[in-house]
Chains A and B, each alone.
Chain A
């Protein structure tokens, strides 16, 4: 009994005093999202709700720029692209979201297939290269993210670097490669391979890779770091991880190798955006898509990220190869979604996942 008073006091202090520092969230908490309480700039264009599968660390300032440029407030809900896609599918027509800004074509395709996206104006679609938009005009790409082989320059000589991803099944790579089998970028690459090379060739490649005893990692970042640490000699990752990891950990003895044009190893996925058919603020959503695919958004990609602008005429700021030279297999990204379950099945059958 004697001791209960301080304990209760601690718990109370804990919940109340600390809660008091969070005036922001607690006041926000009671109102439903997109509540009609309108801040001053909203008179210009109201508020839009953005479901963003893109990381706040990378695109947070993009949303601030959008509000500054248009006067439209952005309520951003960050999450994992695939989890947000599942959320939108469950919400259906009741979704409070105006736009879905996703990391990859697969997440966008899932919403498009469910008929929850509105068609985009041709003018917006025409801004980007055809390989970076949905065939039905339901979503449009905002930045390109290519697959490469990141390698440790101390462990791999340049003449060893393969022209095709299929060459990685050569026994000379035994025990030297790493990849993230549960990562969606890698799985999309496998789906793309099924699309262009067929299921049998893909299975053969996967079995060949397995025979080379690859090391598996959780994601692209971990794979890249493992290459940097010399844990493995080379890894299959997205092209920009070298730059991201080095910005955090400092210079590493790693370099990107691009497979030949047209090779499944050079697969390029796209981050993109679509407007929900049920959008409460369709005009604001339109302005946002405009912003991302237009000059402000593409300049942001070129200058403030390591990804590829998808509209012609913007040069990336780092030493990544020009997009013209980065030609993946000729496939329709919106068809990729249909191949994903197959890719998952193959990965399971060869024992990668």
Chain B
């Protein structure tokens, strides 16, 4: 009976017609995202045999191996770190749990170029650590550049994506299921592995996907750590050869790579249902006593927070103090703080609004339409910001001068660049709502609009805020699109960091970098403060 019900429901889901309003709004969003690939096709079509030569003779295969290898390794490590941290922060009785819950998420505030720079300054062959070890006879440390450095930097500064979605999903898991397994005599680990972990699968798949595609488009960490990926090769074409055609071809290959990764994730995620069918216990899970595992848990948490948060913040403070000692003039416009807050908030609101139709399509229409809608969201996210920015330059500079180099255009670029960060939480949130509740609403004579207002939207409030906070944070760190598309004179903290760092003035860059981290902590605090066991068992 149960099996048959599931089968018919799955069929119903696949064949349900897409409402016209939903289709239209999703269409608008997809058209916006399509700006980037269309631009790339235009540029790539100008290819002469010599530019193809460059691509083919070049190291495309080596780049593919490097890029996928880095993405795979970082995703695996970030997922392991993120899930462990989430379990500790949500389910364990570790001392000062709420502090850990926030601290685990905070590394997200470091732009990867700042984080990678700090790691190099601290752990480089003659970095700060070596300076401390010098009295012990340590002349130099091994170079962390190349794969190890890129892997370390990207893992440390992206695992919070997994942590945040995993922690949020862990809170939503009905503890009675886990308890059922335990009363049947299974071990805690067995219960976690066979009950909790599978329930986390859609959230984990989504979080891991955000990490994997982040690695594809990241330039800051790979360039500082000198590891060759597609994005690094694309920047090299723009910056060294001033040739947009090979850059476009490489970018299209990157999009293809992203599509493969997304398809892989969609397969891995499976088609199972994740909502409960009964009333459930409605209880928040109580904390699990760590017992003799308390010390390993504390060491793990301390090391992660130490390397990913305390170390980079410490390096920035060190630079600041060093600059003050040398009498470096620090000038800071207050406008940059407001600029960051304003444009990233607008970006968050715009991106969440654009994400809603795609998330509904993806969660409620599991056929090819749903998959395509979700896939479309990832096209811009996988591309370097510079490429998306140039696409908007190409599209608007000559044709709509009033829109060109304005805040609305920056926001549109943010939507294209960060869409999945809002789509993923919304989609996971929708999957936890039983569609039969919506059907019941309709059966009880409510219009579709009423059902959406009374059932769907309230259920989406929390994931929407989570998505908005994620986008807000990421937008605050964004650089190339902001620089190219901003109104003249508009400054953000990220552009201030860039202004000083590009001139090699690292201590001067430390002030806006520290402020950026402080401002970015606000949405994160709002987000993470809610994660660590809100009711504390009450």
Contact = CB atoms under 8 A, between A and B. Distances in A.
B124 A15 contact: no
B198 interface: no
Contact of A18 (B237, B337, B499, B507): B337
Is the contact region of chain A dominated by helix, strand, or loop, or is it mixed? helix
A10 B342 contact: no
Interface string B483-494: 110011111000
B335 A24 contact: yes
Contacts of B336: 22
Nearest to A191: B240
Given A55-B502, A91-B393, A340-B240, A96 B342 contact: no
Which bucket holds chain B's interface residue count? Answer: 35 or more
B504 A244 contact: yes
Most buried by B among A26, A32, A248: A248
Given A83-B484, A106-B242, A241-B504, A56 B499 contact: yes
B126 A230 contact: yes
B405 A33 contact: yes
Nearest to B39: A90
B41 interface: no
Contact of B390 (A80, A86, A218): A86
Contacts of B504: 219-221, 241, 244-245, 248
B240 A344 contact: yes
Interface stretch (A71-79, A193-201, A296-304, A324-332): A71-79
Contact of A29 (B239, B483, B487, B534): B487
Interface in A11-34: 11, 14-15, 18-26, 28-34
B236 A58 contact: no
A353 B490 contact: no
Interface in B320-374: 322-323, 326, 328, 333-342, 345-346
A31 B57 CA distance: 47
B244 interface: yes
A32 B401 contact: yes
Given A7-B465, A80-B502, A87-B390, A248 B526 contact: no
B530 interface: yes
B401 A96 contact: yes
A30 B342 CA distance: 13
Given A22-B334, A29-B406, A92 B386 contact: no
Contacts of A93: 398
B239 A184 contact: yes
B339 A58 contact: no
Contacts of A56: 499, 503
B534 A3 contact: yes
Given A83-B386, A248-B505, A31 B335 contact: no
Interface stretch (B30-38, B187-195, B221-229): B221-229
Interface string B385-401: 01001100110011101
A4 B499 CA distance: 38
Contacts of A21: 334-335, 337-338
B397 A91 contact: yes
Contacts of B404: 32-33, 94, 96
Contacts of A106: 240, 242
Is the contact region of chain B dominated by helix, strand, or loop, or is it mixed? helix
Given A3-B530, A249-B326, A25 B335 contact: yes
Contact of A96 (B140, B390, B405, B505): B405
Given A49-B488, A248-B326, A4 B461 contact: yes
B488 to A, nearest CB: 4
Contacts of A24: 333, 335, 489
Nearest to B469: A11
B159 to A, nearest CB: 24
Interface string B206-242: 0000000000000000011010100010001111111
Given A15-B341, A57-B499, A353-B236, A216 B244 contact: no
A184 B240 contact: yes
Contacts of B238: 82-83, 86
Most buried by B among A8, A20, A24: A24
B398 A25 contact: no
Most buried by A among B54, B504, B506: B504
A53 to B, nearest CB: 10
Contacts of A215: 143
B530 A83 contact: no
A14 B401 contact: no
A254 interface: no
B286 interface: no
Contact of B488 (A4, A75, A231, A337): A75
A75 B393 contact: no
Most buried by B among A4, A19, A93, A340: A19
Contact of A226 (B126, B226, B333, B394): B126
Given A340-B241, A340-B242, A353-B236, A11 B338 contact: no
A21 B340 CA distance: 11
Contacts of A38: none
Most buried by B among A3, A94, A106, A244: A94
Given A22-B339, A96-B405, A231-B125, A90 B143 contact: no
A10 B338 contact: no
Contacts of B536: none
Contact of B397 (A77, A90, A337, A348): A90
B522 interface: yes
Nearest to A82: B239
Nearest to B502: A55
A348 B525 CA distance: 45
A345 interface: yes
Given A28-B488, A231-B140, A10 B522 contact: yes
B132 interface: no
A71 B61 CA distance: 56
Nearest to B334: A21
B488 A353 contact: no
Contacts of B328: 247-248
8 contacts: A8-B465, A11-B468, A30-B407, A49-B488, A57-B503, A83-B386, A110-B242, A181-B226
Given A30-B406, A83-B238, A86-B242, 15 more contacts: A10-B522, A10-B525, A19-B338, A24-B333, A24-B335, A25-B491, A28-B490, A33-B488, A34-B488, A86-B390, A89-B244, A94-B399, A231-B140, A353-B228, A353-B236
Q: Shortest 10 CB-CB distances between A and B: which pairs?
A: A22-B338, A94-B398, A221-B504, A15-B345, A18-B341, A19-B342, A110-B242, A55-B503, A91-B397, A82-B239
